[in-house]
Each structure stands twice: as C-alpha cells, then as structure tokens.
C-alpha cells in the first residue's frame, strides 16, 4: 500500500515574489477597498485608526519589508530542500481557484482533478489586462515562461474520488480543466508548488480544489478536516508502493494581516487539536484568509500518523500602516 512520507504547507502570495520596494503597488489598491477583519468590514482609514497601537507603519517600512522578504525566501528554500531530501514519488495538492479557471457559472465546493496531464502556462494577454497592479511581477513564481505539461495521476485521483463518495462527499470531478479566454492553466495555488517547492521537477500529482473564496458554497472547517482524514485513508489504501507527499497551498491571513488568527491555526495544527481548528469562527475565513482552509485537510491527514510538525517560519508581511498585506507561513511534517 502507498505511504504518506511528507507533508508541506506553504503560503503562495504575490508578495513572496515581488521585490519589497514594489509592495506599494498592491497597497495603492488597498486604499480604495473595504477590508474584512475580525468579523467586521472596514475602510483603509478605519483600519489605520483601529490598529493605531500596533506599530504598523514601522512593520511596513522598507527596511522591515526587506527583512521579512528575506526570511520568506529562506523558508521557501528550506521547504524545497526538504522536498529534494525526501524525494516522494507522487503528491496530492490542496489549493483553491480565484476565478482563474472557474466562473460563477459553476464553482464546486470540492473538486478532484484526475486527468492524465496538467497544463501550466503564462497568463494570456486577456488575463493580463484584468490583473490588478503588482500581480504580473509575481507571475514567474506561479507560471513558467513557456507552456509546460506535467503528469497527472488518474489512478490515485479516481481512488480518492471513490473513497470520498463512500464517505458522503458528493465530490465534483474533472479530467480536463476549464478554459478561460481560450487559455488553460492550473491556478497559481498549484503553480507555486510546482515552481518554488518542486523546482519544476514535477512528480505525478492529484490537484484537489476547495472553494475557499466565494459564497455561498464555501466548505465549513469540520468538512475540510473530515475531507483530509478521508483522503489519508484513500492514499493508504491505494494499491501501490508509492511514497506520497501532501501539500497545502495558500494563506495565511490576508489581505489584512491578523496574527491572532494565524496563531490559532498554527497552534491547532501543532497540537493536533481538532476542536481548536473547527472552532475558529467562520467569519474569520473571509477574503484571502479563507485560503487557510486549504491547510485544514492536510492537518487532518497528518493527525495520528506519528509525523512531527515543523514550523520553518511565520512571517507577517505588512505593506501598509493599515495592516494590509499577507501573513506567510511555511511548515512541514515528517
């Protein structure tokens, strides 16, 4: 039977691939928007006032941005070295889509891709035109310069689908990913893993999609946890001698950094505390912070498997005095 030999959870936000002196490109948009934060919704100026005692102007200063950016690069390099050291044969990757391939015509709560191949290509011209400021500069960390085709893992994907169906998940499936603007590419949540952790040496893998972003069919935390446990059972009952890695891609809190929320997730995972993970208030998982739900299935997979969680680093990356930005975290289990 297959064996789970490694777990990795990583942030994938554009700030990881944007020079610190360019973070202001995203901060300019922050000033125009309303932002979810701890159950409320606030303008930029309201956040500045609400968080006045947190020294956020210092935390968003250029020197701090450079220091925190450097810490993130070191942590990504550590995860890439761990991947190279363990050398898993195949992988299962939990991530989300941000209207890159799905539209409001059909957004599945959970989807397992079990196609033969996975396409990863640079943005089309139509996609580039729609991107907000500061995103194109980060593209090389998610998509290659020229279209690439990676191996899928239909046998394991189908086995995972069958186990989920047997365990009361009415799972969506796909052998081919939808096209947008006559262009097909795996979303950036998965592309970051391929490019920055696997270093473009992509093993056969199963992408698993969670709709973390878009109401009304976002999964609850207890469903994410149960899904992970079911996928773990599927992997370990798969008739193969493959050594399997599981990935979570996304998070942590953004587009407003909330260190309290981040630590609730990290400590819940560290302590294998199901109740702590399930009981994080649902209204905390809004906007980009919703991607933390990609981590919860992997936490469920790792529970009771005797593998130690190692927090490589936690780096809250602030880009403004309102606390906007992206908290980054990097974890592995072995």
Strand partners, 244: 4, 90
Taking the model in full, what pTM does it have? 0.97
What whole-number distance in Å separates Cα of residue 101 and Cα of residue 110?
14
In tens, the pLDDT along 225-280 reads 999 999 999 999 999 999 999 999 999 999 999 999 999 999 999 999 999 999 99
Count CA atoms closer than 13 A to 108's CA, side-chain side: 18
pLDDT (mean) for 152-175: 98
- Is 123 or 214 the better-scoring residue by pLDDT? 214
Three-state secondary structure readout of 198-220 = CCCCCCCEEEEEECCCCCCCCCC
Is residue 78 reached through a cis peptide bond, with omega within 30 degrees of 0 on the bond before it? no
Q: Report the C-alpha dihedral over residues 13, 16, 19, 21, rounded to 10 degrees.
A: 70
How many CB atoms are located within 10 Å of the residue 172 CB? 16
- pLDDT bin (cut points 50, 70, 90) of residue 28 is confident
In tens, the pLDDT along 102-112 reads 999 999 999 99
What whole-number distance in Å separates Cα of residue 92 and Cα of residue 231?
9
Is residue 216 reached through a cis peptide bond, with omega within 30 degrees of 0 on the bond before it? yes
Domains along the chain with CATH numbers: 3-333 (3.40.830.10)
Mean pLDDT taken over the chain: 95
pLDDT (mean) for 79-105: 96
């Amino acid at each position: 039977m297959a064996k789970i030999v490694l777990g990795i959870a990583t942030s994938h936000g554009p700030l990881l691939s944007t020079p610190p002196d360019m973070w202001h490109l995203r901060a300019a948009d922050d000033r125009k928007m309303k932002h979810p934060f701890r159950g409320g919704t606030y303008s930029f100026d309201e956040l500045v006032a609400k968080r006045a005692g947190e020294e956020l102007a210092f935390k968003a200063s250029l020197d701090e941005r450079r220091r925190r950016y450097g810490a993130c690069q070191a942590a990504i390099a550590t995860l890439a070295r761990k991947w190279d050291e363990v050398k898993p044969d195949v992988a299962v990757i939990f991530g989300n889509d941000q209207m890159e391939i799905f539209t409001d015509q059909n957004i599945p709560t959970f989807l397992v891709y079990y196609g033969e191949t996975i396409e990863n290509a640079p943005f089309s011209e139509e996609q580039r035109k729609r991107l907000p400021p500061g995103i194109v500069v980060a593209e090389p960390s998610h998509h290659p310069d020229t279209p690439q085709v990676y191996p899928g893992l239909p046998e394991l994907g189908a086995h995972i689908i069958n186990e989920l169906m047997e365990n009361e998940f009415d799972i969506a499936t796909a052998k081919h990913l939808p096209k947008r603007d006559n262009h097909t590419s795996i979303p950036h949540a998965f592309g970051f893993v391929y490019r920055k952790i696997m270093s473009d040496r992509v093993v056969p893998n199963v992408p698993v999609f969670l709709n973390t972003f878009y109401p009304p069919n976002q999964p609850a935390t207890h469903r994410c946890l149960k899904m992970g446990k079911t996928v773990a059972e599927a992997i370990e009952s798969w008739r193969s001698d493959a050594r399997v890695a599981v990935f979570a891609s996304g998070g942590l809190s953004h587009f407003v950094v909330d260190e309290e929320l981040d630590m609730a997730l990290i400590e819940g995972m560290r302590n294998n505390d199901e109740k702590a993970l399930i009981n994080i208030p649902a209204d905390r998982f809004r906007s980009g912070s919703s991607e933390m739900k990609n981590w919860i299935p992997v936490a469920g997979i790792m529970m009771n498997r005797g593998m130690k969680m190692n927090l490589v680093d936690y780096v809250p990356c602030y880009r403004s005095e309102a606390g906007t930005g992206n908290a980054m975290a990097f974890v592995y289990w072995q």
